[in-house]
Amino acid sequence: MRINKYIAASGIASRRKADELIKNGNVRVNGTALTEPGYEVADGDVVEVNGTPVLPPENKVYILLNKPVGYVTTVKDEGGRPTVMDLVTEVEGRVFPVGRLDVNTSGMLIMTNDGDFAYRVAHPKHKLGKTYRVRVAGIVTRGKLDRLRKGVDIGGFVTSPAEVEIVKELPKETVLEITIHEGKNRQVRKMCKAIDCPVRELERIAIGPVKIGRLATGGYRKLTRQEIDALMGKKQTR
Ligand code: URA
């Protein structure tokens, strides 16, 4: 890998800034100040910028996990409960969860070691819709449906408009699909509680244009290049 790309991929500086560092003699390879801007870094080379070693950039990994109920979305749990980290064992590189699902929520969780990507997917300003399949107690009347769609008070905060569809009406329960564009703590549970239809089961089935599909509970797969681009807003797949 070319030296400027190597430095940029390690998160030290942009490629342009890296070129400047090289030009100014701030970059050493194996103890010698670099003079050649096009230097190709070889395996085993020790690269330093201003005397600080620059570790080889990690390969970027993007995982889509189907989180089961009972797993916490943290790296470590004080109470010793199983965490989502226990599920992604055969991944090259250390990945971290993007955003959070409650311990009692199942479904789609993205895990990655790409900080820029994680920021983009998690940040509400990018307005990536998160879609949930929700089984609630009771009947969701037309009036309640409208309230969910327009926005409900979940305790000092009124939710912004959401897409809500009834998927199934059972004698004493209703299955809904809800897409929200914010990420308040326990938001879907609080929204359903606000219309007196408490959540019995909650599963995230999509983030933006990417769907969980038929991935087994507890299973995971890599995101495709197209899915990564779509989540980054580079291309729309639907
Ligand atoms: N809303 C919730 O209430 N819980 C989740 O885990 C995700 C969204």
Rounded Cα gap, residues 10 and 56, in angstroms: 7
Per-residue model confidence as pLDDT tens digits over 201-229: 999 999 999 999 999 999 999 999 999 99
Rounded Cα gap, residues 50 and 142, in angstroms: 65
Q: Which long-range contacts (CB under 8 A, 24 or more apart) does 156-161 make?
A: 157/184, 159/184, 159/187, 159/191
Per-residue model confidence as pLDDT tens digits over 120-179: 888 877 789 999 999 999 999 999 999 999 999 999 999 999 999 999 999 999 999 999
At 95, the amino acid letter reads: V
Residue list, ligand 1 pocket, CB within 6 Å: 101-102, 105, 186-189, 202
At 18, the amino acid letter reads: A
Distance 185 CA to ligand 1 centre (A): 7
Distance 238 CA to ligand 1 centre (A): 24
What is the Rg, in whole angstroms, of the alpha carbon atoms belonging to the chain? 23
The residue from 102, 114, 116, 229 that is catalytic is: 102
Rounded Cα gap, residues 138 and 161, in angstroms: 22
